[in-house]
Amino acid sequence: MDVGGEPNPRLSIEFCGLRFATPLVLLSGCVGFGEEYTRIRGFSNRDAGAVCLKGTTLAPRLGNPPHRICETPAGMLNAIGLQNPGVDHVVREILPKLDFGETRFIANVSGSTVEEYYEVTRRFDDSPIDAMEINISCPNVKEGGVAFGNDAAMSARVVAACRRATRKPLITKLSPNQTDIASNARACLESGSDAFSVINTLMGMVVDVERRTPVIGNNQGGLSGPAIKPIALLKVHQVYQVCRDHRVPIIGQGGVAGAQDALEFLIAGASAVGVGTALFYDPLILPKINRGIADYLDRHGIASVSELTGSLRLHAPEASACGCAPSHPGG
Amino acid sequence: MSDQAHRDTIFLEDAEVLSQEAYPAEQYFLRLRAPECARHALPGGFAHLRCDPLLPMRRPLSIMRVSPEEGWVEFLYKAVGEGTRLLAAKRPGDRVSLLGPIGRPFEPHPERPRVLLIGGGVGIPPMIFLADALRRDRRFRPLALFGSEVPFPFQARPSQHLVGGLPAEVIAAMPLLDDWGVPSRLASLQGYAGCFSGYVTDLARHWLDRLDAAARAQVEVFACGPHPMLAATAAVARDFDLPCQVSLEEFMACAVGGCAGCVVEVRTPAGPAMKRVCVDGPVFDAYQVFAD
């Protein structure tokens, strides 16, 4: 049992100047405000390098009507709609109860206007939070969210506003629901983003054929789980091409459900790996993934997990059967 | 650190299937070996089961009975979808990942010893768990009223316990509760022998109508079942000015409060709020959930 043990020191990474005990990051929206999963015996935030808190807006939000979730083949849809008690409540009532000795805590900044992103960031800046993730990719709110994230110029404006509000590390969470994620990443990087989360959920729908209505109360929702992993891996690979020379780290995420998945993300260019939906399957999955990564490092004689980042060796274009560049499959 | 009292209260167990019995209309009794859940579960609590490795999302099932001594937990469920059908295929010796116990339990109040338990369909199990707890606590006098529009998942028999204020022809009872000394009666629109012909909430209203004011002031209502039945239960409780606790269900992902996927809108003094069915419930004050 890994319960109670410290993760292998070779799993430790440095992320925007913060030490993560492992490359695993618990994803925003899956673990509430950091304490919920500790209800389960054997679960420890120490098994994660960082924990991203639930998306937070300036004012409290009730979120979307039920049903908010629905299982899909190899995944699930969700449309929570950024239910949260507002940034002041989070800073005053929730953060003081978190044990910052256990892991790094990252706030998730959300909003409907550029000004709101600025203001939420400013209020988190004046708190013990370790870093902030800018959520410009929430697919489940009518204003802001993905409406900003799918437009490079708007994304850049949001990042620039947040940058003015803090010197803490800023991680921009990119949407997969856009044509050119690399251009968006470049714009955000130039506006001061220190890191990226790649990817947020993909928009989807499930239909109740008896009622002829969408199952999800919000009609559409964000798809997560193993179904989206290949898409996420390619996006990480694409964003890594932008980030590599700037040494800007990526939290790769999307369908990670085991050590093999985590290794794929690291090799494709991620410095850290997000775990979300898989917790719903197996709440005690973190030590298993950590152990699997450590075993891989042993087997390959690799001293530190950070050596894996971006170690992907692409096939030469001429080796490709269709003759097209591997970064443009089917092109 | 402060406020970490909730830590380590839910257990992940690789539970062995001890027995699974099929009843008409795809209803199943499932008994799992899960000693930690059995030791810590309280009436109203549920477990989140991984029905099959093919379907990784878990399904929440109300706990019907536990034996802390023998280390088992029992459920009654209806196979309604892919997950519960896969669960129904499990045989003794198979393993099911169980996360539990979860949720805020029912809170009976000794100053209201006449406990009225109303269960509809697959809402019956938590009422059985509560009846089991109350029969061990001599302060309470529970009466269970169950409704179903498919055959009850047990062989009903005439009750050994007299209950005043009910129609004389309504004699069918659940044998398990009868043996426990807990009076029960059944209701259905399907014309089952010995059952009240109507909704279970109409049977409840019939009984409450015939109580005198002093007796009625000792009643508290507990209910679990389909949403329309719970709404009708809340209306009955309101008419008789009785406290009422209801157990709700909703699609769930994490079941530990992390994802806010399973919310219900409730009324609070501060205005409407979205509460998580998993850890803020599944038991709620009926008046917070059902408007006038």
Contact call for B253 and A62, based on CB within 8 A: no
| SS3 at position A191 | coil
The more confidently predicted of residues B19 and B1 is B19
What average pLDDT does range A17-25 have in this prediction?
98
Measure Cα distances from B245 to A121, B105, B117, B271, B282 in Å.
Answer: 41, 10, 10, 20, 10
A327 domain residue, yes or no = no
**A322: pLDDT confidence band, cut at 50, 70 and 90?**
low
| Bond from prior residue into A199 cis (ω within 30 degrees of 0) | yes
Q: Which of B192, B203, B196, B152 is nearest to B175 (CA)?
A: B152
Using a CB-CB distance cutoff of 8 angstroms, which residues of chain A are in contact with residue B10? 39-41
Indicate the number of domains in chain A. Answer: 1
Q: What is the dihedral of CA B104, B106, B109, B113, to 10 degrees?
A: -170
Chain A neighbors of B1, CB-CB under 8 A: 97-99
At B86, list the tokens.
């896969």
Average model confidence (pLDDT) across chain A: 93
| CATH topology assigned to domain B5-102 | Elongation Factor Tu (Ef-tu); domain 3 (2.40.30)
- pLDDT at site A149: 85
Tell me what pLDDT residue A143 has. Answer: 64
How far apart are the C-alpha atoms of B190 and B188, rounded to whole Å?
5
DSSP per-residue string spanning A9-22: GGG-EEETTEEESS
Which among A104, A109, A136 is positioned nearest to A121, based on CA atoms?
Answer: A109
Which residues partner with B67 through β-bridges?
B72
Within a 10 A sphere around the Cβ of B253, how many other Cβ atoms?
29
**Which of A174-178, B20-24, B196-200 shows the lowest mean pLDDT across its residues?**
A174-178
Shortest Cα–Cα distance, B8 to chain A (Å): 4
Q: Is A206 helix (H, G, I), strand (E, B) or coil?
A: coil
pLDDT value at residue A319: 55
Cβ-based neighbours of A113, under 8 Å, separated by 6 or more: A143, A144
Distance between CA atoms of residues A70 and A220, nearest Å = 11
Strand partners, A98: none
Identify any residues that bridge with A19 across adjacent strands, giving them in sequence order.
Answer: A14
Question: What percent of chain A clears pLDDT 70, i.e. is strictly above it?
Answer: 92
Return d(Cα B29, Cα A263) in angstroms, integer: 42
Q: Check residue A47 and report its DSSP letter.
A: G
Q: How confident is the model at residue B142 (pLDDT cuts 50, 70, 90)?
A: very high
- Each as own residue / partner, the long-range contacts of residues A204-207 (CB below 8 Å, 24 or more positions apart, any chain) are A204/A72, A204/A77, A205/A77, A206/A70, A206/A72, A206/A77
A52 catalytic? Reply is no
pLDDT reported for residue A3: 46
Question: d(Cα B21, Cα B19) in Å, to the nearest integer?
Answer: 7
A33, A110, A125, A212, B273 from A85: Cα distances, Å: 11, 12, 18, 34, 10
Angle A259-268/A285-300 helices, nearest 10 degrees?
Answer: 60
Going by pLDDT thresholds of 50, 70 and 90, the confidence category of residue B103 is very high
* pLDDT (0 to 100) of residue A5: 67
For A213-259, write each residue's pLDDT tens digit: 999 999 999 999 999 999 999 999 999 999 999 999 999 999 999 99
Q: Is A65 on the interface with B (CB under 8 A)?
A: yes
**Contacts (Cβ under 8 Å, ≥6 apart) of B135:** B142, B180, B181, B182
Report the 3 state secondary structure along chain B.
CCCCCCCCCEEEEEEEEEEEEEECCCEEEEEEECHHHHHHCCCCCEEEEECECCECCCEEEECCEEECCCCEEEEEEECCCHHHHHHHCCCCCCEEEEEEEECECCCCCCCCCEEEEEEEHHHHHHHHHHHHHHHCCCCCCCEEEEECCCCCCCCCEECCCCCCCCCCCCCEECHHHHHHCCCEEEEECCCCCCCEECCHHHHHHHHHHCCCHHHHCCEEEEEECCHHHHHHHHHHHHHCCCCEEEECCCCCCCCCCCCCCCEEEEEECCEEEEEECCCCCEEEEHHHHCCC
Among residues A138, A162, A188, A243, which one is catalytic?
A138
Selecting from B99, B261, B279 the residue whose C-beta is nearest the C-beta of A69 gives B261
Domain containing residue A284: CATH number: 3.20.20.70
| CA distance, residue B261 to nearest chain A CA (Å) | 5
pLDDT exceeds cutoff 90 at A147: no
C-alpha span between A55 and A110 (Å, rounded): 6
- pLDDT of A2 reads 43
Nearest to B55 by CA among B83, B79, B94: B83
Q: What are phi and psi of B189, to 5 degrees?
A: -90, 0
> Min CA distance, A152 vs chain B (Å)?
29
Q: Does A40 touch chain B (CB under 8 A)?
A: yes
A256-295: per-residue pLDDT in tens? 999 999 999 999 999 999 999 999 999 999 999 999 999 9
Rounded to two decimals, the pTM is 0.94
Residue A4 has pLDDT above 70, yes or no: no
**What is the C-alpha separation between B148 and A306, in angstroms, rounded?**
59
**Residue (of B21, B9, B86, B104) closest to B49 by Cα position:** B86
Is B267 in the A-facing interface, judged by CB distances under 8 Å?
no
Q: How far apart are CA B168 and CA B164, in angstroms?
A: 9
CA A315 to mean position of chain CA atoms: 28
Contacts of B85 in chain A (CB under 8 A): none
pLDDT, average across residues A113-117 = 94
Instruction: Give yes or no for residue A1 having a pLDDT over 50.
Output: no
Cβ-Cβ contacts under 8 Å for A32 (sequence gap 6 or more): A53, A54, B257, B258, B259, B260
Most B CBs within 10 A among A2, A28, A36, A285, hence the mutation to make, goes to A36
Name the residue of chain A whose CA is nearest to B36's CA: A41
Cα of A110 vs its chain's centroid, Å: 14
- Rounded Cα gap, residues A306 and A246, in angstroms: 16
Residue bearing tokens 């690399």: A182
User: Where do the DSSP E strands lie in A82-160?
Assistant: 104-109, 131-135
Does the CB of A83 have a partner CB in chain B at under 8 Å? Answer: yes
Residue in A103, A57, A109, A105 with CA at minimum distance from that of residue A83: A57
* C-beta atoms of B256 and A63 within 8 A: no
Higher pLDDT, B55 or A41: A41
- Considering the domain boundaries, does residue A78 fall inside one? yes
CA distance B13 to chain A (A): 10
Helix, strand or coil for residue A243?
A: helix
Distance from CA of A33 to the nearest CA of B (A): 7
In a domain, A62, yes or no: yes
Which 258-317 residues of chain A touch chain B by CB within 8 A? 277, 279-284
Counting runs of H as helices and runs of E as strands, what totals does chain A give?
9, 16
Q: Measured between beta carbons, which residues in chain A are less than 8 angstroms from residue B57?
A: 71, 76, 280-281
Range of the domain at A240: 9-308
Strand (E) or helix (H) holding A8: none
State the pLDDT at residue A320: 53
Q: How far is residue A19's CA from residue A24's CA, in Å, rounded to a whole number? A: 12
We find that the CATH architecture of domain B114-249 is 3-Layer(aba) Sandwich (3.40)
What's the rounded Cα separation, in Å, for the pair A48 and A243?
24
**Interface contact flag, B58 A281, Cβ < 8 Å:** yes
Backbone angles phi, psi at B141, to 5 degrees: -125, 85
Which of B8, B12, B263 faces A283 most closely, judged by CB atoms? Answer: B12
Tell which of A33, A39, A210 to mutate to test the B interface (max B CBs under 10 Å). A39
Which residues of A fall within a CB distance of 8 Å from B282?
none
Residue A67: list chain B partners with CB under 8 A. Answer: 250-251
Share the mean pLDDT of chain B: 95
Q: Which residues contact B81 (CB under 8 A, 6 or more apart)?
A: none
- CA-nearest residue of chain B to A76? B57
ipTM: 0.94
Interface A-B, measured as beta-carbon pairs within 8 A, has a size of: 118
Tell whether A3 is covered by a domain.
no
Q: Where does the pLDDT of residue B3 fall: very low under 50, low under 70, confident under 90, or very high at 90 and above?
A: low
Bridge partners for B104 per DSSP:
B282
Q: How many CB atoms within 10 Å of residue B81?
A: 12
Per the structure block, which two tokens stand in for B199? 């909704």
